[in-house]
A and B are shown apart, each in its own frame.
Chain A
């Protein structure tokens, strides 16, 4: 298998994730698109790990998965808080950096 087929797949996934982050206004959907981006990175890590024939890529992919889990936990808590305070999870409405 070519290395590039994996890298290009990851690039396409990354771009779809970026598109989602830019166009979505629903907070939960923005977080989901961020997951797409993190997954694209994971595919790159594992593909390069297989290419170099060592386990470093796998180890880092596992770390990325752990960090993504933490990120989703905190992110959803923040979206929940926003919903409770404003009755809306529209990210384009939160443009004031005030408490």
Chain B
């Protein structure tokens, strides 16, 4: 009886295994990034040196940008690098320098707080792990098949075309202006198609732009007002009398 009851479970498990084989490279990348990220985050909250903490923060932020790109959100990954690593970390370093925060040893993490903090953190982790494993046990992220790349035939100079396109279409170098027809375009490899002038750029950037400037226009405007208010507020608060 037990064996019979276990059959569907076993089938499910092996099914997951074979499907996971396909994204083995992704999983290796994930493991490397996640390991680096968690190690750096741990060092960040435990190190005594304030500047080292800021530098570990850079690694954590870069790793999470890599996670975003792994999930196919290249726009968010790029924004993360620009805004976080480019601006916020620099702001933190300025903060550290301006406050002359005990640059060497922090010496502030006393034992009692550390035990309580670790207790709270571990408890929170246990609760969340239970909830997540219980809810999303075998949920997989499936990436949809990329849609055919849209193409508007345009006249281009052969000299301006990228080399892979010229080679794939076997265009003579002295052909001058040519128009690549839709039929020729369809015959190309998707990687080459993207480099043809007039082809739609890949990724979901267009959809993100569309939804920010139509569906989420009011939150977008609110965020811009918030940034302005924060800027003015920061100047007012930090200004010398």
Chain B's interface: helix, strand, loop or mixed, by majority? Answer: helix
Chain A residues with CB below 8 A from B143, complex form? 50, 53
- Nearest Cβ on chain B to A19's Cβ, whole angstroms: 4
- Within the assembled complex, what's the spacing in Å between the Cα atoms of A12 and B125? 6
Q: Is B68 an interface residue (CB 8 A)?
A: yes
- Within the assembled complex, what's the spacing in Å between the Cα atoms of A8 and B142? 18
- The A-B contact count (CB < 8 A) is 246
Chain A residues with CB below 8 A from B64, complex form? 13, 39, 42-43
Interface size class of A (residues with CB under 8 A): 35 or more
Partner of A51, one of B137, B139, B229: B139
- Nearest Cβ on chain A to B80's Cβ, whole angstroms: 7
Q: Which of B149-157, B158-166, B208-216 contacts A (4 or more CB under 8 A)?
A: B208-216
With contacts A7-B132, A12-B125, A36-B60 taken as known, whether A19 is within 8 angstroms of B230 at the C-beta atoms is: no
Chain B residues with CB below 8 A from A7, complex form? 132, 136
Chain A's interface: helix, strand, loop or mixed, by majority? Answer: helix
Chain A residues with CB below 8 A from B80, complex form? 42, 65
With contacts A3-B141, A32-B53, A69-B88 taken as known, whether A83 is within 8 angstroms of B208 at the C-beta atoms is: no
Say yes or no: B108 contacts A19, CB within 8 Å: no
With contacts A6-B67, A46-B73, A81-B238 taken as known, whether A32 is within 8 angstroms of B30 at the C-beta atoms is: no
- Within the assembled complex, what's the spacing in Å between the Cα atoms of A98 and B79? 39
Say yes or no: B144 contacts A59, CB within 8 Å: no
Chain A residues close to B by CB (< 8 Å): 1-9, 11-20, 22-29, 31-33, 35-36, 39, 42-43, 46-47, 49-51, 53, 55-59, 61-63, 65-74, 76-81, 83-84, 89-90
List 27 contacting pairs A-B, 8 Å CB cutoff, sorted by A. A1-B141, A2-B138, A8-B132, A18-B117, A19-B45, A19-B117, A19-B121, A22-B113, A23-B45, A25-B108, A28-B99, A32-B57, A33-B44, A33-B45, A35-B57, A46-B68, A46-B73, A53-B143, A58-B75, A63-B219, A65-B79, A67-B223, A68-B88, A74-B230, A77-B234, A78-B237, A80-B238
